[in-house]
Chains A and B, each alone.
Chain A
Amino acid sequence: MKITQAIKRVDSPTQLRWWQKYRNRNLVIAFLFVFPALLNFLLFRYLPIFWAARTSFYRYSFFKGFEGFVGLDHYIKIFTNDPEFINSLKVTLIFALTKVPIQVVLALALAVFAVRNIPGMGAMRAIIFIPVVTSFIVVSIVWGMMLNKDVGLVNAILQTVGLPRMEFLSSKANALPSIIMISIWKDVGYSVIVLVAAMKGISEVYYEVAMVLGANAWQQFVNVTIPMLRRALMFVIVIGTLGAFQVFIPIYQLTRGGPRDTTNVIVYYIYKKAFQFGEMDYAAALSIVLLAIMLIFSLIQMRLMRSEDVD
Chain B
Amino acid sequence: MTRYSISQDTRLSADVIKHAKQAQRKKIVINILSSMVTFIIYIVITIVFVTPFIYLLGNSFRVNSQSIWGNLFPVSWKSFIPYDGVTLKNYIQALGLDVVSRGFGMNMSRALWISLASATCVIISSLIFNTCAAYFFARLKFPRKNILLVYVLATMMIPQQVVIVPLFLVVRSLGIINTFWALVIPWYSSPFIVFLLTQYFATLPYELDEAAIMDGANLLQILYLIVVPNSLPGLLTVSLLEFQFIWNEFYWPLVAVTNRELQPVQVHIAAQFTERDPQWGRVFSAMVLASAPIILIFMMAQKYFFQSTAISGIKG
Contact = CB atoms under 8 A, between A and B. Distances in A.
Given A36-B133, A41-B191, A143 B163 contact: no
16 contacts: A30-B136, A36-B132, A45-B191, A48-B163, A48-B169, A48-B170, A133-B294, A141-B270, A143-B52, A159-B73, A197-B306, A249-B251, A252-B251, A253-B270, A280-B165, A280-B169
Nearest to A120: B42
Interface in B287-316: 287, 290-291, 294-295, 297-299, 302, 305-306, 309-310, 312-314, 316
Interface in A20-52: 26-27, 29-31, 33-34, 36-38, 40-41, 43-49, 51-52
B159 A246 contact: yes
Interface stretch (B18-26, B88-96, B242-250): B242-250
B3 interface: no
B38 A118 contact: yes
Interface stretch (A93-101, A166-174, A206-214, A232-240): A232-240
A78 interface: no
B136 A34 contact: yes
Given A246-B159, A246-B161, A130 B191 contact: no
A273 B73 CA distance: 41
A138 B55 contact: no
B299 A33 contact: no
Contacts of A189: 49
Contacts of A146: 52, 55
Secondary structure of the B side of the interface? helix
A270 B165 contact: yes
A294 B79 CA distance: 44
A310 interface: no
Nearest to B69: A151
B152 interface: yes
B310 to A, nearest CB: 3
Nearest to A293: B162
B135 interface: yes
A137 B266 contact: yes
A33 B136 contact: yes
Contact of B73 (A145, A160, A185): A160
User: What are the 3 A-B residue pairs with the smallest beta carbon separation, nearest first?
Assistant: A197-B310, A194-B313, A48-B166
Interface string A131-146: 1011111110111011
Of listed A124, A135, A236, residue having the most chain B CB within 10 A:
A135
Nearest to A287: B165
Interface in A99-158: 110, 113, 118, 120, 122, 124-131, 133-139, 141-143, 145-146, 151-153, 156-157
Interface of B: 38, 41-42, 45-46, 48-53, 55-56, 68-69, 72-75, 79, 129-130, 132-133, 135-137, 140-143, 148, 151-152, 155, 157-171, 185-189, 191, 194, 219, 244, 247-248, 250-251, 254-255, 265-266, 269-270, 273, 280, 283, 287, 290-291, 294-295, 297-299, 302, 305-306, 309-310, 312-314, 316
A280 B167 CA distance: 12
A283 interface: yes
Interface residues of A, number: 91
Interface string A251-262: 011000000000
A38 B141 CA distance: 17
Contacts of A130: 49-50, 53, 295, 298
A232 B170 CA distance: 36
Nearest to B308: A193
Contacts of B160: 246
A51 B310 contact: no
Contacts of B79: 153, 156
